[in-house]
Structure 1
Amino acid sequence: KQCHHRQSLRSGTVLENSKLPFMYWYAAMHLLTSTKKSYSAAELQRQLGHKRYQPIWEMVCKLRDVMGKRYNLYQLTDEVELDNAFIATLIAEEEKDKPLKRGIGSQRQPKAVVVNESSFVENPKPGKKPKRVNHLKMLVIEDLRADTISKTVNEHVNPKAELTTNDATPYSKLFEQVKSHHAQAIKKEDLPKTLPWVNIAIGNVKRLLLDVHHQLTNEYLQYYLNEFCYKFNRRYFGDAFFDGFLIAAVSYNTDFRSRIYNRNSCG
């Protein structure tokens, strides 16, 4: 009122600056929250009956960006497991002319830190895990240096947490960030006992990206990890899942900006 400027109902929400109808956004939010897995942008385009792929893909990426903003509000605490993951993607346009690296530095395998809260179960049932999982986070990082890992843990893990990792060099400084850090050499066969839920989450998200999303590049990987973690952390919400997501959508603006044009598929 003071600036005498007309304000849209979309202002300050994820819908700001979008020309797509409100019903497109509601339908997309409903479909994204109606399944444990995900919908590709191409499938959403087909469901909505829209002619162009690009606006639908951008809409879904904005919703996934909001998911990330929502679950980044809190830090993980109590018993925390941490490991890194390498997720296969397409090479970005600016990297295509460079020689393809192998191993950890490969352009086709961006690095992510995976952390989750868990609590020990006193008398687990036969066939059940010794730990009960709570919240999960997956964060794309530039490299696996000790300073990068420490900075990520400082932002997303509560200082009072008890952290469990393997004894890899990038985790050597984590004892400075948390109450206690249990670093140990873990054999492959012991992973289900020591870091059970982190490795299950890594396997599940890799399978999801391969099954549903195609032609995914490094630049946009974090948005897809946001969706996976947001759904995982709200797996028991039931019918309230859509209502909570709608509140998040109107509470946050988005930083998403696309540099992809005239594409037919991007996951």
Structure 2
Amino acid sequence: MTDSTILQPEGLEQRYERYKEKIKHFTIMNDIFMRNVLKETACTEYILQVIMNRTDLKVIDQTLQKDYKNLQGRSAILDCVAKDAENNHFNVEIQGENDGASPKRARYHCGLLDMNLLNPGDFFDNLPETYVIFITKNDVLGYNLPINHIRRRSNETGEIFEDGQHILYVNSKKQDNTELGRLMHDLHCKEADEMYSNILATRVHQLKETEEGVNQMCQELEEIYNEGEQSGVQKGELKKARETTLALLEMGMSSEQIAKAVNLSIETIQNWISEASF
């Protein structure tokens, strides 16, 4: 006889228990967890201070998961865009997959930042310095370096083309005994007490080990669940799409390729992959 309980839909309480188990295994390299950690501006500030090697860097404003619109073409949701006291602008992206950190994606992020930094009638010279920072799970560029700073240069003179645009690739596999290496170690930690940084450890402890923080994370995961339910895809089709997503992932397809295959947003696909990874 078939166990009828198998056919019962998962209730809110059951989902919350499942969420709590997932939260235990999250690290800051997980997109969902990262954006909640960075809601504490001090965490964003600390990460930028280490990557930029500037202890005086002060974040005065930031936006998380903002949809940067391109009315003539493709838009993109940027993980974190921060502004410091000197009016430098930073786009920080956690990239678990190599294709999510391709050089042309970095170029496109630079363009999206620029398009949203000038008002009609502003002079082009008013554009601030911008930094697109990809913190990658793997050594995407293959240089075996902890960090790569990328600027345009003149082929003829070798001098930097001072357009104010910077791209940085940070290789999180490099976890040596430097400040940057210790930060990369912390981004991969599941437990707050394993971290070097008190700033990050305090926030991770709050989100994983306090009732308020765990509830906040559960609500975030529930919102993702509800967005999927209300995305215009019927429940049965949504379940099938998720199963197809995970099957294609095992076959080695990238999240962008999967998104095209199942006709869903790349953000939905990345959330499913993140959930399945823990």
TM-score class, shorter: 0.3 to 0.5
| TM score, norm. by length of structure 1 | 0.32
Query: Taking CA–CA contacts closer than 8 Å with sequence separation of 6 or more, which of the two structures ends up with the larger relative contact order?
Result: 1
